[in-house]
Amino acid sequence: MRFLTAGESHGPQLTVIVEGLPANMQVDIEKLNEEMYKRQGGYGRGRRMQIEKDSVEIVSGVRHGYTLGSPITIVIKNDDFTHWRNIMGAAPISEEAQSEMKRVITKPRPGHADLVGGLKYQHRDLRNVLERSSARETAARVAVGALCKQLLQQLDIDVYSRVISIGGVSDKAHYDIEDIIQNVDKNDVRVVDETIAQQMRDKIDEAKQEGDSIGGVVQVIVNHMPVGIGSYVHYDRKLDGRIAQSVVGINAFKGVSFGEGFTAGEKLGSEIQDPILYDETTGYYRASNHLGGFEGGMSNGMPLVINGVMKPIPTLYRPLASVDINTKEPFKATIERSDSCAVPAASIVCEHAVTFEVARALLEEFESNDITILKQQVDARREQNINF
Ligand code: EPS
């Protein structure tokens, strides 16, 4: 399975083509849209999300609610385009109109792709860079992940996400999956504990008042994963490795870890490996899950636990020093509309990025032209975990 996204932040639409999902899989468009709306929410988002209503339109590959096995095309309209029609249109414009055109950007923002992207692609209007490097693209990645989530649900695999920390305020406690399911969607910072949620909101308000932005850590959990997805035989088939690439490919993500992650480096071997046990009805399992469900780049049957860190968004109302590319003079002041914190939304993006990679690996592992045949094979693998 593969996908390609296209679209600029203030262009007419985002488009995604997904190829490789099995045929005869039920697709629930309302549920797809629920995931899309979740990404738009979260405390600390800016005004853009009041303009957009990200609902998907499927224009190929699904008929009467079921996949055909052919490429699926999803369109997400940018409602903000009505304000940008002249600036973002595809047709050529006169030189005069070009010189009068507002919103030409020559002042790169530190931490964004602006300067390096302009230099690399020879764009002297840095808008040509930021329109694509914008996190608007993550809406398309959520649409793909939401389709894959419906596939996983039909294979009894569930994916959840939550926020672990924002601006240093943490909710690192270990919760049962049920607690996570019951609480995070009710909460605009996507944490389980409401007291911590309020501390996070205060932290976001504080940053916003100071014209600053704030980052954090998110966690994704994949439950009821069959054993042996991914492979130890080559680095580029390791499922954790693929997930790492996908997560760090999300705008502003600077790192990824699995299970106990970097703290593993501080522990003894006996403290971090998960002892193997056996139960007659469920088969092999681990006494703990320090490794986050991965051994040798393969799922070991325990829940997958993936953590991702998002840096604070670089668009600041209190800008940092930079240099105008026309005058080469220092400046300190372009104010762009922005979010002060997008960590809750990023947890949804991360959830869907992981979902895609898990689905992709499953479809590689098993014969997957048809959903029923795929299900039979996944069930057979679960049986193997008992019979082996
Ligand atoms: C973004 C800047 C803001 C965010 C945008 C990402 O957009 P605008 O410049 O239009 O105010 O709202 O995020 C989205 C549009 C989205 O859908 O998440 C940026 O520079 O990355």
Dump pLDDT digits (tens) for 90-128: 998 887 777 777 678 999 999 999 999 999 999 999 999
Does the pLDDT of residue 338 top 80, yes or no?
no
Does residue 127 contact residue 337 with C-beta atoms inside 8 Å?
no
Least confident among 104-118, 349-363, 366-380? 104-118
To the nearest whole number, what is the mean pLDDT of the chain?
A: 94
> At how many degrees (to 10) do helices 29-40 and 138-154 cross?
140
337 touches ligand 1 (CB under 6 Å): yes
Write down the pTM of the prediction.
Answer: 0.96
Of ligand 1's atoms, which has the minimum distance to the CA of residue 112? Answer: 20
Q: Is 49 exposed, middle or buried (0-12, 13-18, 19+ CB in 10 A)?
A: middle
What are the structural domains, with CATH classification, of the chain?
A: 2-387 (3.60.150.10)
Ligand 1: which residue has its CA nearest to atom 2? Answer: 338
Does the pLDDT of residue 176 top 90, yes or no?
no
Cα of 80 from ligand 1 centre, angstroms: 11
Does the pLDDT of residue 335 top 70, yes or no?
no
Does the pLDDT of residue 381 top 70, yes or no?
yes
Cα of 48 from ligand 1 centre, angstroms: 6
pLDDT at 309: 98
pLDDT at 38: 96
135 touches ligand 1 (CB under 6 Å): yes
Of ligand 1's atoms, which has the minimum distance to the CA of residue 80? Answer: 10
31-39: average pLDDT: 97
User: Which residues are CB-contacts of 24 (< 8 A; sequence separation ≥ 6)?
Assistant: 66, 67, 69, 370, 371, 372
How far is CA 192 from its chain centroid?
A: 20
pLDDT at 319: 77
Strand pairing category for 298-299 and 294-295: antiparallel
User: Which residue would you say has higher pLDDT here, 376 or 317?
Assistant: 376
pLDDT at 97: 77
Ligand 1: which residue has its CA nearest to atom 13? Answer: 136
Q: Which amino acid is at 109?
A: R
Does the pLDDT of residue 140 top 70, yes or no?
yes
Least confident among 179-188, 190-199, 292-301, 305-314? 179-188
Q: Which residue from 286, 311, 86 is spatially nearest to 217, judged by alpha carbons?
A: 311
Cα of 179 from ligand 1 centre, angstroms: 31
Ligand 1: which residue has its CA nearest to atom 20? Answer: 134
Angstrom distance (rounded) from CA 60 to CA 17:
9
109 touches ligand 1 (CB under 6 Å): no
136 touches ligand 1 (CB under 6 Å): yes
134 touches ligand 1 (CB under 6 Å): yes
Q: How confident is the model at residue 336 (pLDDT cuts 50, 70, 90)?
A: low
Of ligand 1's atoms, which has the minimum distance to the CA of residue 345? Answer: 18
Ligand 1: which residue has its CA nearest to atom 16? Answer: 136
